[in-house]
Amino acid sequence: MKLPIFATIALTLGAMAAFTAARWVGIAQTSGAKVVIVNQPIEAGKAIAADQIKTVDWPGSAVPNDAPTRTTDVVGRIARVSMIPGEPVLPGKLAPKNATGGLSSIIPEGKRAITVRVNEVIAVAGFALPGSYVDVLVSGKDADHQPFSRTVLSRIKVLAVAQETTADPAKPKVVNAVTLELTPNESEKLDLARNIGVLSLVLRNELDAGEINSAGVRLPDIVYSPSTRANTPLPVAKAAPSRQSRGPEEIRGTSH
């Protein structure tokens, strides 16, 4: 009598184990999903090719919202940002379906792109790359014809250098034109600034979101030492212009 009882218990336990295993397999199959990820590097502003992406199984609890699940939904779309192998291709990284590519496809809504010319020294020796953040300075002469230098835009994103929207950080390249991402109002102010003086770019830490609100510097600030300036009255012509003068307007950038 003992053998049949043990056999019954073994069959029961085996059936329960098989049921549990089948249930877990079913949950794994239904809770997960296919997600499109990057297979080869993708450049911003260019159409995505079939060999640059692939689908992989993604854990159900971690599937990104609205993530494409078929490569056919992504092939031919314009990349709004550069992407590296392994990262999921999310809707926010893609330009609208009717986008034609190029720089216009990677400009965020409400922003503008404006190109300014800079010389080799001013362009921080080629280290201002697409995706970098810079401050923009202007140097010129005020209404009293006195030299000045002032930060006019703060934390501005670089969209392109020369005509390239991507660059290798390990291979800085000296260029004489940089395209910046600005609001319409900032674009107007930058256009005015480059017509009253020479523009300079100052590279900043990408994590530094602080704004610059400086009064700028003038000739006495660099010609005279603090002690000399304290005891030497400055000519009236070298004083800072009043708010009613036609000097440069203070320009504050936006945090990105």
Q: What is the pLDDT of residues 52-100, one digit of tens each?
A: 999 999 887 788 888 999 999 999 999 988 899 999 999 989 988 888 8
Neighbours of 38 (CB within 10 A): 21
Among the three residues 105, 129, 162, which one is the final residue of a domain in this structure?
A: 105
Q: Are residues 85 and 146 in the same domain?
A: no
Residue 3: its H or E element: helix 2-31
For residue 152, is it within any domain?
yes
pLDDT > 60? residue 147: yes
In this prediction, residue 152 has a pLDDT band, given cuts at 50, 70 and 90, of very high
The DSSP call for residue 171 is S
Can you give the residue range of the structural domain that contains 64?
33-105
Same structural domain for residues 134 and 205? Answer: yes
Q: Are 91 and 121 in a shared domain?
A: no
Domain stops at, among 65, 89, 105: 105
Per-residue confidence (pLDDT) for residue 99, from 0 to 100: 82
Domain-located, residue 251? no
**221 confidence band (pLDDT: 50, 70, 90):** confident
* CA–CA distance, 132 with 236 (Å, rounded to integer): 41
Does 117 or 187 have the greater pLDDT score?
187
Residue 14 lies in a domain: no
pLDDT at residue number 19:
54
Surface-to-core class of residue 59, CB atoms within 10 Å of its CB (0-12 exposed, 13-18 middle, 19+ buried): exposed
| Number of domains observed in the structure of the chain | 2
Q: Which residue has the higher pLDDT, 114 or 176?
A: 114
Residues 86 and 160 in one domain: no
> Which structure tokens are listed for 174?
């000296």
H or E stretch at 186:
helix 184-196
The domain boundary residue, chosen from 105, 139, 169:
105
For residue 167, pLDDT over 90 is answered with no
In-domain check, residue 210: yes
227 plus 136 within the same structural domain = yes
